[in-house]
Each structure stands twice: as structure tokens, then as C-alpha cells.
Structure 1
Amino acid sequence: MASLKELRASIGSVKSTRKITSAMKMVAAAKLRRAQTHAEAARPYAAAMRRMLGELAAAMSGEDGAPKLLAGSGEDRVHLLIPVTSDRGLAGGFNSNINRTTQLTIRRLQAEGKTVRLLPVGRKGFDFLSRDYADLIVDHVIGVGGKEVPFSAASDLGARITKLLENSQLDVCTVIYNRFQNVMSQVPTPLQLIPLGLDEAEAVSDSNAAQYEFEPDEQTLLERLLPRNLQVQIYAALLESAAGEQGARMTAMDNATRNAGKAIDRLTQKYNRTRQANITNDLIEIISGAQAV
């Protein structure tokens, strides 16, 4: 049985832990409000831009001279996966869900005979993938998360992807990120960036598809729009991941704070029972000694 001194030390330790987790919960809640606002503000713009260029990609499919950022290389051999995780832990299943989704995607693509390459964003994803798939990693990005997600991070990542595409080192590019739904729910979501297309939710019928007239000319406009669209889609994914990270951390720290409180109650109860037992034993010894005299 633990002594009173050991129990007091345990109670003090758990109380200190509860203070830390409670403070981390409040910090995450404050960051979440800002991150959620930014993520929700970016959604309509990213969706509209993707829809417009997705319709254009569908209209230009099969045409010669279609830009690679729009139509891809025309092959389906080399897949670049970009898993987006956080640099820090203590966020529940936020990072493990992305790592597991990425691992399953790698196994599926390799089973289909595809070549897989990885460009992890975030320290947790990079550390996880380095253990089993170090030979597949072509580059990595760390330090994107924080109080603010700079657009320069998306621009830099877009430039790296474009360089790999121009050097014929990828055919298909997909980003895997946690889409923020609410504080309790972040959904691992794969989003294909190259070639650009519409998913079932975004697709429109041919009769309703918009017809575009280009001003200036089509080539000049696409040269400006396509790199920007790639950056916008990446930036929207980074913002969603940032909001999801803070939501997951807030939930995890709330659970940890509650569990610490329950542990303190159990230790306090045990401490009181042990103290009562010690007092009882001391009284029995005193009474027994008095009777012996």
C-alpha cells in the first residue's frame, strides 16, 4: 500500500498536469476561433475556382497541348501523395488518422502497380512515414502550422509540385488532409490536385456547364490561373488542417482535464482511507499499551 507521502506526491503531480491540460485547452479554443474563421472563409473561393477550372479540364480532356497543371501528364503511373499533419502532438487521433489513411492509400496504389512518392507536410507525418517509407519521400515541409498559416507556404509547396511535374516525376498529385467539420469531428479527405477534375458533388451536367470566353487569350489566362489555383487549393487544405488540429487538441485536452479530475478524486479518497486506517492503528496501539500497563 502506498504511503501518505507517496499519495500526496501523486495528487500534487496530477493537479499540476490538470493545470497544464486546462491551460492548453483554453489556448486551443482561442486559436480555434481564428483558424475556423479562416478555413470557412476560404472554402467558397477555393470551391468556385476548382469548379470553374474543373469544368474547363473536362472540356479540354483529350486535347493536345492542354496545360499539365490542368490535365496532368496523361499517364497514371507515378502518384505523389501530400499528407498534411501537425508539427506537435497532444491532438487525439488527428495525426494518426492522416497517417493511417496515407498508409492505406500507399498500399492500395502499390498493389495496383503504381509508383508512389511522398511529400509530407508536418513533423508528425514525416516522422511516421520515415520509419517505413523513407525511400518514397522526395521532400518534406515542417513549420507550416502555428498561429497563422502563411499563403507563402502554399506558394512554396505549389512551386515544388510544379517542378516535379515539369521534370516528369509525377503524373497524379493528391493532398490528404483533415477537413474541419466541428470541434469533435475532423474527416481525413483526399483531394486530387493534378490532373484537376470534378468529384461527384461538384460535377455538373453538360447542359448546365458554363461556357467561358477568355480575355486575354486562353493561353495567357491559364498560365496565370492554373498556378494560382494550385496554391489556393493547397492553402485551403492547410487552413482546414489548422482548424482541425486546434479542434482536436481542444477536445483531447478537455478529456485529459476531466480524466485528471477523476484521478484526483480517486487518489484523494484513497489518501483519506489510508490516513484513517493509520489513525485507527495508532489508537489501537495506544489503547493496547495502556491496557498492558
Structure 2
Amino acid sequence: MAASLQEIQHRIDSTKSTRQITSAMQMVSTAKLSKIQRSGTGYRLYAQHLQDVVSHLAQAHLSNVKGTLLESREVKKVGFLIITSDRGLVGGYNSMLIKRVMSAFEERHLTKDDVVILAIGGNGADFFKKRGFNVAYEYRGVSDVPDFMEVRDIVKTVTAMYDNEVYDELELAYQHFASRISNEVQLEQILPIDTTNLETESGSLSAEYDMNPSADKVLETVLPQYAQSLVFGAILDAKTAEHSASVNAMSSASDNAKEVIDDLELHYNRARQAAITTEITEITGGMAALE
């Protein structure tokens, strides 16, 4: 019985250590989440203003200009830019996203030969590589609070690959931060740019513009910036969702550890009481035998 008590006590101590670790990780993830939320506020304002500019141009009937990211072409290859985490301990953050992407392949009847994977994050890159997909680009090690200068090469590469016809359509897949307790998988086409669903915050607009320089030059500058803003915004959003998922996962782990500790301590106390009762019974029996 003594050995059993020692084993239970060892499990209690081990679980308490685990809980200390998960609680500390929860605090760190909470701090990262708060920081990236503050960082993202300013960027969302910039992205909205940029969207307004593109929408203005679209309403001015400039979207028929050729040779831009607006132009559709025959779809031979579909690119999927998939943003996952580099590490685990984030609950179902990665698995839910990958499951949705695989479902999209089935819904569109896409085979491995039809798909080009661009993976941001090690989980996604490793998953699709192991299954024989064409992972044409991968990036690992996005910082906890990324800025545009850090990932500008990513967004430039994404648009350059489209220009070079590595793929003819680009789908963006990531976890959107909905709230501190929930994330939502987002799957949306970003290339070619579809201006029909763009909305502005400035109300009605004039349908005509006097352009200097030409519409070609304006679109040549603005549209790549807009495409890049969509990619960077998704990376920022996905990182926010990742930190949120980590907070929730570590919170659940800490709660579960507490429940295990409570159960073990109850079991320990019962076993200890049983051992004491047995010892008293043995002493009492010995005394009776001596009499």
C-alpha cells in the first residue's frame, strides 16, 4: 500500500508541474494575443482605405484594363495559399483548416495534379508534402506579431507566381479570428481580383475619373498592393486566431489537469485512510493475541 501511495503522490506532483507549465503558456499566449490585436487595428484601417481605392476604380469602369491582376484566364492550375501554425498546442486550429481545404478539393473535383500548394506554416507544409502534393512554396517562422516588412517577400512571391502563370487562380485558406473563444475557417479567392463584391465606406461615387497618369499605370501600382494587403491581412488574422487557439487549448489543459489532481488527491486520501485502518486493525489484532 505504501508503494501505491508513493505512486499516486508522484502522479500528483507530475500533474501539478504540468499544470504550472500550461498556465504559464496560457499567460504568454494571452499577452501575444493582446499585442497582435493592438497591432492589427491600424492595419485594418489601411486595408479598408486601399479597398476603397480599388472599388472607386472599379466603379469608374477601369476594370477592363488588360494585363492586370483583374484579368481572368483559363484555369489550368489552382493555387491554395494555406496559413497554418509552425507548432502544435493550439487545439484543432490546424486540423480544422486542413480538413476544410481537403473538402474543397473534393467539392471542386481537384486532383493533386490540378493543385499548387503555397504553405505558410510548418504544419500545412508537412501535411501536404507527406501526401504527395506539389508544395511550390513554403515559409516557416512567421513571428508572433508579424509586420509587413517581415513578410513582404511572401506577398510579392505570391503575386509574382500568379503573373508567371504558376497557377491561374489563387484561393486563400486560413483561420479567421472571430472572438477570443472561437475562430472560423475562411476559404476565399483572391486572384484574379473580383471587384464586383467590393464595398466602400464612403457612400455613392462618381462613375468617371480624369486620370493622370493613365489608368494602366494606376492599376499597375494599386492592384498588386491590394493583393498584397489581402495576403498580409490574412497572415495577421491567422496569427491572431492561432494565439487565441493557444490560449483556449492551454486553458482547457490547465482545467483538465486540475480535475486530474483533485481525483488523484481524493484517491490518495482514501488509500491513506485505508492503510491507516489496516495498520490499526493489525495492531489491535496483535494486542488481542498477546492477551
Superposed pair shares fold, TM > 0.5: yes
> Deviation digits for residues 55-109 of structure 1, max 9, x if unmatched?
6458455x4x52332224x222311001111112111111112111111122223
TM superposition score normalised by structure 2:
0.89
Shift of 1:210: 4.8
- 1:132-151 mapped onto 2 (5 Å cutoff): 132=131, 134-146=132-144, 148-151=145-148
Provide closer, same or farther for how the CA distance between residues 213 and 24 of structure 1 changes in structure 2, counting only shifts above 3 A. farther
> Deviation digits for residues 155-214 of structure 1, max 9, x if unmatched?
2122222332232221111211111111111111123221111475x458xx95653443
Verify: 1:228 aligned to 2:229, yes or no.
no
Could you say which residue in structure 2 is the equivalent of 1:131? 130
What secondary structure sits across from 1:144 in the alignment?
Answer: coil
- 1:1-293 mapped onto 2 (5 Å cutoff): 3-53=4-54, 56=57, 59-60=61-62, 63=64, 66-72=66-72, 74-111=73-110, 115-132=114-131, 134-146=132-144, 148-198=145-195, 200=197, 202=198, 208=204, 210-211=206-207, 212-293=209-290
Confirm or deny: 8 A CA contact 2:112 2:133 kept in the other structure. Answer: no
- Distance in 2 (CA, whole Å) between partners of 1:113 and 1:27 is 39
Runs (5+) with no aligned partner, structure 1: none
- Distance in 1 (CA, whole Å) between partners of 2:196 and 2:130 is 33
- Distance in 2 (CA, whole Å) between partners of 1:228 and 1:143 is 23
Runs (5+) with no aligned partner, structure 2: none
Confirm or deny: 8 A CA contact 1:57 1:70 kept in the other structure. Answer: no
- Distance in 2 (CA, whole Å) between partners of 1:56 and 1:172 is 22
Provide closer, same or farther for how the CA distance between residues 213 and 10 of structure 1 changes in structure 2, counting only shifts above 3 A. farther
Which stretch of the first structure deviates more once superposed, 34-43 or 88-97? Answer: 34-43
Q: How many percent identity over aligned positions?
A: 32
Provide closer, same or farther for how the CA distance between residues 43 and 255 of structure 1 changes in structure 2, counting only shifts above 3 A. same
Shift of 1:219: 1.9
- Distance in 2 (CA, whole Å) between partners of 1:214 and 1:17 is 64
What secondary structure sits across from 2:177 in the alignment?
Answer: strand
CA RMSD of aligned residues (A): 2.5
- Distance in 1 (CA, whole Å) between partners of 2:56 and 2:78 is 23
Confirm or deny: 8 A CA contact 2:18 2:257 kept in the other structure. Answer: yes
What secondary structure sits across from 1:69 in the alignment?
Answer: coil
Confirm or deny: 8 A CA contact 1:90 1:252 kept in the other structure. Answer: yes
Provide closer, same or farther for how the CA distance between residues 110 and 153 of structure 1 changes in structure 2, counting only shifts above 3 A. farther
- Distance in 2 (CA, whole Å) between partners of 1:156 and 1:171 is 20
What secondary structure sits across from 2:138 in the alignment?
Answer: coil
- Distance in 2 (CA, whole Å) between partners of 1:235 and 1:225 is 15
Confirm or deny: 8 A CA contact 1:109 1:116 kept in the other structure. Answer: no
> Deviation digits for residues 138-161 of structure 1, max 9, x if unmatched?
111111132x20313442122222
> Deviation digits for residues 21-62 of structure 1, max 9, x if unmatched?
10011111111111112233322332342354256458455x
- Distance in 1 (CA, whole Å) between partners of 2:68 and 2:219 is 11
Provide closer, same or farther for how the CA distance between residues 144 and 220 of structure 1 changes in structure 2, counting only shifts above 3 A. same
- Distance in 2 (CA, whole Å) between partners of 1:97 and 1:199 is 30
Aligned residues: 285
